[in-house]
């Protein structure tokens, strides 16, 4: 209860609910202009409660399962940062009780976001609907489709935080790949049309996509359905979609989606060390021998010579690598591959990989001082308090160019159009990392959003030029490039504004 | 060297962290004493340019630090009350980083600082493995690495064991010389042996300032010792200001602070700095500061 209360009282939760509501407003286009949200067999489904509830819930599964992790996975870290962890663990509370509370807090946050989205969807039906508003129908469809998703994300966030060695940035990055993989698995792409979702699929299908495909086909007799406005001309009259059924089989299928989260909880319990410093600190120093610590120990000696040079240019950029020595190896690998790979491979394979790494490497450039409790010392140093935003923008740009500079430079020479896109994309990431870091105080916001953008761009494969922000597909037009450049400038200005606002708040 | 002119810091809701504070400080150690919530940290943050005063001036060698904060930052070493470190950096790496932020590029200087605070043997250990005392020592090292003219240390001995506290005080005393060291604490013994000047604050205002001897002279006749029974103890503690208490075979020996004889059996003793501090807390109104000379 205390955890849920703490989370729900935070201003960021209110912002989250509002953002979800805004998402619903943007997701439901105006049917009077021929647009639609749900298309079945080429026909637009009327905006009735069952159709809107179904479509918006199915749509929300993606942002909920992706962004929801980054929003929820802060529960244990928050207790550590506020030093409440030491107080809590000295009480009689059992580990299971404590973690259940955190799990409930995670779920509560996600349910609040879902509720905000649902309320906005209902409001949109009131504005653009084509049938009576049925709130209970919304509740039922959302519960059926999204409750395993909430359970999965809440449990995953808990497990990653409890797991030594992967809690933190590494866990955030790993989740992205786990999410990409499991979303695809849940749909069972190998399943033949008309075939039932397998037992395995039911357990892993937390987004409900696999379930939805099967149910829509069963209810409507067609496998041709889409959510979102295709922009294609409307050729068939609209239809009425009755929504998903609550047959025993449907409910049993979705209930199986709770199995993996249920198994994740005992895993979290087994991994949780109750904040025991002995499990995090070695008396002889060197930290726990987690994977990240081992990698850091291996990379540290190799990084010393180049970092000694970087120190003279930018101690803060050097700090980025010093705090995570494996980044030195990754930057070096990027430079070597940037020079040796065929240019098409540089563009289509190396640059996307570099952009993914930058999502992690840049995320805490503007937040690490505050998160480490070091900000006061830094602000007392010359030129740091008032010049913080400029300093961090320079650091982020330098770090980004150290990773992407060689492949980008090579692309600028051999394929200037793609090279310009790559350069703009790199600087966009740098500026956005700083702006979001200063504004939100956490690296997770930038990391989640940049990985989401990366995912969209990778899946678009250049078919949507506007998403070719990194020049990977050489499809961005000059207008698109100008748009991303403008976004970079906007993020840069936002960095200064956010820092000024923060200083004004803190006096 | 440092002149504070009617400095105030008002927060939202009309609360004041510091109100109309004025005094001057010269090179040496200035001890800033006061209870929790007195405004010591707010005051130090203003001098360190971490926060701005809402009224008044702070002049360091004639330069207004509010108008030109960079002027003091170039000559400042600051150890805040509560600070964190980057756990996965080594002591050397963190100190080197801070040194570079302050424009110091000499690695020899970094090593010298680590030697001074006795961390040279663990210079390559990650900070995540450091004890609280070790972190505090690293904190003073980072404050001194740029050879500052003004050193501000906010509650530096909190959490240190007795040996480390003595070592800390010795370091501060050694470095004071031509520098101004402002040491804020609510532990009187921290300043007793090293401060040349003491300023006592309460509720954001200056209660008194002057050399320790002057504070002691002002408290002359206010310290008493008396023996009471265990049965009387709770009542006496509720009614009187007790600066010390020792249980012995013949009863509880109390050290008391009062303007007049507090108990028939009380005998006058020479006050120490703790007695003088308590005497000030008891007798001075925050609106009327005493400059004790």
How do residues A425-439 score in pLDDT, each as one tens digit?
999 999 999 999 999
Whose CA is closest to A260, among A149, A113, A175, A176?
A: A149
Give pLDDT tens digits for B266-276.
999 999 999 99
Are B250 and B183 found together in one domain? no
Q: What sign does the dihedral A250-A252-A257-A261 (CA atoms) show?
A: positive
Better-scored residue on pLDDT, A237 or A139: A139
pLDDT score of B139 more than 50: yes
Separation of alpha carbons A57 and A37, rounded Å? 12
| Segment A36-64 mean pLDDT | 90
Mean pLDDT for the stretch of residues B241-245: 90
How many domains are contained in chain A?
2
Over 90: is that where the pLDDT of A499 sits? yes
Q: For residue A164, how many other CB atoms are within 10 A of its CB?
A: 16
H/E stretch holding A207 reads none
B114 and B175, same structural domain? yes
pLDDT of A122 above 80: yes
Enumerate the residues of chain B whose CB falls inside 8 A of the CB of residue A376.
Answer: 45, 48, 50, 78, 80, 83
- What pLDDT does residue A286 have? 43
Helix H or strand E encompassing A222? none
SS (H, E, C) A82-117: CCHHHHHHCCCCCHHHHHHHHHHHHHHHHHHHHHHH
Mean pLDDT of A483-489: 96
Mean pLDDT of A384-412: 95
pLDDT-wise least confident of A186-195, A243-252, A373-382, B273-282: A186-195
User: What's the pTM?
Assistant: 0.76
pLDDT of residue A277: 60
Q: Is pLDDT at A278 greater than 80 in this prediction?
A: no
Three state DSSP letters for B232-293: HHHHHHHHCEEEEEEEECCEEEEEEECCCCCCCCCEEECCCHHHHHHHHHHHCCCCCCEECC
Q: How many angstroms separate the CA of residue B239 from the nearest CA in chain A?
A: 34
Q: What is the pLDDT of residue A203?
A: 86
CA–CA min distance A276, chain B (Å):
13
Residue B223: predicted pLDDT: 93
Say how far residue A72 (Cα) sits from the centre of its chain. 11
In a domain? residue B274:
no
Same domain, A183 and A321: no
**Do A317 and A230 share a domain, yes or no?**
no
pLDDT at A21 over 80: no
Q: Domain with B153 in it: what CATH number?
A: 3.40.50.300
**B275 found inside a domain:** no
User: Smallest Cα–Cα separation from A359: which of A330, A384, A333, A388?
Assistant: A330
CB nearest A384 (choices: B97, B101, B142)? B101
The DSSP H or E segment spanning B30 is: strand B28-33
CA distance B241 to chain A (A): 32
ipTM for the whole predicted complex goes beyond 0.90: no
Q: Residue A90: which pLDDT band, with cuts at 50, 70 and 90?
A: low
Same-domain status, B148 and B252: no
Q: Are residues A266 and A352 in the same domain?
A: no
Which of B17, B50, B71, B106 best probes binding to A when mutated, by most A CB atoms within 10 angstroms? B50
Q: Can you give the pLDDT at residue A134?
A: 93
Task: Give yes or no: residues A325 and A423 share one domain.
Answer: yes
Q: Is residue B85 located within the same domain as residue B172?
A: yes
B152 with B229, same domain: the answer is no
User: What pLDDT score was predicted for residue B286?
Assistant: 52
What pLDDT, on a 0 to 100 scale, did the predictor assign at position A23?
A: 74
Indicate the average pLDDT of chain A: 86
- C-alpha angle B205-B209-B214 in degrees, rounded to nearest 5: 150
Domain assignment of residue A168, given as a range:
2-275
Give the confidence band of A159 by pLDDT, cuts at 50, 70, 90. very high
Average of pLDDT values for A326-331? 90
* Range from A34-38, A465-469, B133-137, B183-187 carrying the lowest mean pLDDT: A34-38
Instruction: Tell me, yes or no, if A368 comes closer than 8 A to chain B by beta carbon.
Output: yes
Which pLDDT score is estimated for A36? 82
Percentage of chain B lying above the pLDDT 90 cut: 43
- Provide the pLDDT for residue B225: 94
Report chain A residues whose CB lies below 8 A from the CB of B50. 376, 379-380, 385
- How far A437 CA lies from chain B's nearest CA (Å)? 17
Range of the domain at B125: 2-216
- pLDDT tier for residue A498 given thresholds of 50, 70 and 90: very high
User: Residue B195 domain-assigned?
Assistant: yes
Please identify which residue in the block is written with the tokens 């200005």.
A493
Higher-pLDDT residue of B262, A192: B262
Q: What is the pLDDT of residues B159-201, one digit of tens each?
A: 778 888 888 888 888 888 889 999 998 788 888 888 999 999 9
Mean pLDDT, residues A46-52: 93
Residue A286 is assigned to a structural domain of this protein: no
Q: What is the pLDDT of residue B124?
A: 92
Mean pLDDT, residues A73-81: 79
- Report CB contact under 8 Å: A373, B85: yes
Task: Check B74 against A377: CB less than 8 A apart.
Answer: no
pLDDT above 90 covers a percentage of chain A that reads 42
Q: Does A40 have pLDDT greater than 90?
A: no
Residue of A nearest to B106 (CA): A312
State the pLDDT confidence band at A283, using cuts at 50, 70 and 90: very low
* Predicted confidence (pLDDT) at residue A237 exceeds the cutoff of 80: yes
Contact B101 A381 (CB under 8 A): yes
Cβ atoms within 10 A of the Cβ of B84, count? 18
pLDDT at residue B43 is higher than 80: yes
Q: Judge whether A481 and A412 are in contact, CB under 8 Å.
A: no
Count Cβ atoms below 10 Å from residue B105 Cβ, excluding itself.
13
Query: Residue A138 is encoded by which pair of tokens?
Result: 């919304």
Our CA-based measurement puts residue A498 at a distance from the nearest CA of chain B, in whole angstroms, of 17
Average pLDDT for residues A391-417, to the nearest whole number? 96
pLDDT at residue A26 greater than cutoff 90? no
Higher pLDDT, A311 or B290: A311
Confidence band, pLDDT 50/70/90 cuts, at residue A293: low
Do B123 and B140 sit in the same domain of this protein?
A: yes
Q: Are residues A38 and A14 in the same domain?
A: yes
Last residue of a domain, which of A275, A309, A337? A275
Residues B125 and B232 in one domain: no
Residue A8 has pLDDT above 80, yes or no: no
Q: Is A181 on the interface with B (CB under 8 A)?
A: no
Domain-embedded: residue A493? yes
Statement to judge: residues A306 and A235 lie in one domain: no
Predicted confidence (pLDDT) at residue A475 exceeds the cutoff of 70: yes
């Amino acid at each position: 209860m205390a955890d849920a209360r703490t989370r729900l009282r935070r201003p960021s939760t209110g912002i989250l609910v509002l953002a979800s509501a805004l998402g619903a407003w943007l997701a439901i286009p105006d049917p009077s202009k021929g647009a639609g949200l749900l298309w079945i067999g080429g026909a637009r489904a009327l905006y009735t409660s069952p159709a809107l509830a179904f479509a918006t819930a199915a749509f929300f599964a993606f942002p909920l399962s992706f962004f929801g992790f980054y929003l929820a996975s802060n529960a244990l870290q928050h207790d550590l940062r506020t030093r409440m962890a030491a107080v809590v663990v000295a009480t009689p509370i059992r580990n299971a009780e404590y973690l259940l509370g955190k799990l409930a807090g995670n779920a509560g946050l996600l349910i609040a976001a879902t509720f905000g989205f649902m309320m906005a969807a209902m409001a949109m039906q009131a504005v653009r609907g084509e049938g009576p508003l049925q709130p209970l129908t919304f509740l039922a469809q959302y519960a059926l489709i999204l409750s395993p998703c909430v359970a999965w994300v809440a449990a995953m966030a808990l497990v990653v935080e409890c797991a030594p060695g992967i809690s933190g940035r590494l866990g955030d990055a790993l989740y992205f790949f786990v999410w990409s993989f499991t979303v695809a698995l849940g749909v069972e792409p190998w399943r033949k049309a008309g075939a039932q979702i397998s037992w395995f699929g039911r357990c892993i299908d937390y987004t409900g996509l696999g379930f939805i495909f099967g149910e829509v086909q069963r209810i409507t007799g067609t496998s041709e359905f889409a959510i979102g406005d295709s922009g294609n001309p409307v050729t068939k009259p609209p239809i009425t979609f009755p929504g998903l059924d609550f047959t025993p089989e449907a409910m049993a299928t979705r209930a199986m989606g709770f199995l993996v989260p249920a198994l994740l909880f005992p895993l979290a319990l087994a991994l949780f060390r109750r904040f025991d410093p002995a499990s995090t600190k070695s008396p002889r120093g060197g930290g726990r021998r987690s994977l990240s610590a081992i990698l850091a120990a291996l990379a540290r000696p190799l990084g010393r010579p180049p970092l000694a040079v970087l120190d003279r240019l930018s101690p803060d950029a050097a700090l980025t690598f010093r705090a995570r020595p494996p980044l030195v190896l990754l930057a070096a690998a990027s430079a070597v591959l940037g020079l040796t790979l065929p240019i098409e491979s540089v563009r289509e394979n190396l640059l996307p990989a570099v952009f993914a790494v930058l999502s992690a490497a840049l995320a805490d450039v503007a937040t690490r001082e505050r998160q480490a409790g070091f900000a006061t010392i830094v602000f007392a140093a010359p030129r740091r308090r008032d010049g913080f935003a400029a300093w961090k923008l320079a650091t982020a740009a330098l770090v980004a160019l150290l990773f992407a500079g060689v492949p980008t430079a090579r692309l600028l020479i051999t394929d200037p159009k793609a090279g310009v896109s790559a350069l703009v994309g790199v600087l966009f990431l740098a500026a956005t990392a700083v702006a979001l870091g200063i504004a939100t105080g956490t690296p997770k916001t930038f990391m989640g959003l940049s990985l989401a953008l990366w995912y969209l761009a990778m899946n678009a494969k250049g078919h949507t030029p506007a998403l070719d922000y990194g020049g990977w597909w050489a499809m961005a037009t000059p207008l698109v490039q100008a748009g991303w450049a403008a976004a970079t400038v906007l993020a840069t200005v936002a960095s200064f504004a956010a820092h000024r606002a923060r200083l004004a708040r803190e006096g | 060297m440092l002149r504070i002119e009617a400095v105030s810091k008002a927060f939202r809701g009309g609360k004041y962290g510091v109100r109309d504070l004025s005094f001057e400080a010269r090179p040496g150690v200035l001890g800033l004493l006061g209870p929790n919530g007195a405004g010591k940290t707010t005051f130090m943050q203003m001098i360190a340019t971490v926060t701005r005063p809402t009224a008044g001036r702070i002049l360091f060698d004639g330069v207004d630090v509010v108008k030109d904060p960079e002027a003091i930052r170039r000559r400042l070493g600051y150890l805040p009350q509560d600070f964190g470190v980057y756990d996965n950096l080594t002591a050397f790496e963190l100190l080197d980083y801070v040194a570079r932020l302050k424009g110091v590029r000499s690695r020899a200087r970094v090593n010298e600082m680590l030697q001074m605070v006795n961390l040279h043997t663990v210079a390559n250990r990650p900070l995540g493995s450091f004890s609280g005392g070790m972190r505090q020592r690293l904190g003073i090292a980072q404050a001194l690495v740029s050879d500052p003219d003004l050193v501000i240390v906010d509650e530096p001995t909190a959490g240190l064991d007795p040996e480390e506290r003595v070592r800390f005080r010795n370091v501060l005393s050694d470095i004071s010389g031509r520098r101004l060291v402002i040491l804020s604490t609510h532990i009187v013994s921290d300043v007793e042996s090293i401060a040349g000047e003491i300023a006592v604050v309460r509720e954001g205002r200056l209660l008194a300032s002057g050399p320790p001897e002057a504070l002691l002279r002002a408290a002359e006749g206010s310290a008493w010792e008396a023996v009471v029974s265990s049965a009387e103890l709770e009542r006496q503690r509720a009614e009187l200001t007790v600066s010390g208490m020792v249980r012995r075979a013949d009863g509880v020996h109390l050290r008391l602070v009062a303007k007049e004889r507090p108990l028939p059996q009380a005998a006058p003793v020479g006050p120490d700095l703790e007695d003088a501090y308590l005497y000030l807390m008891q007798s001075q109104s925050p609106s009327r500061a005493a400059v004790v000379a």
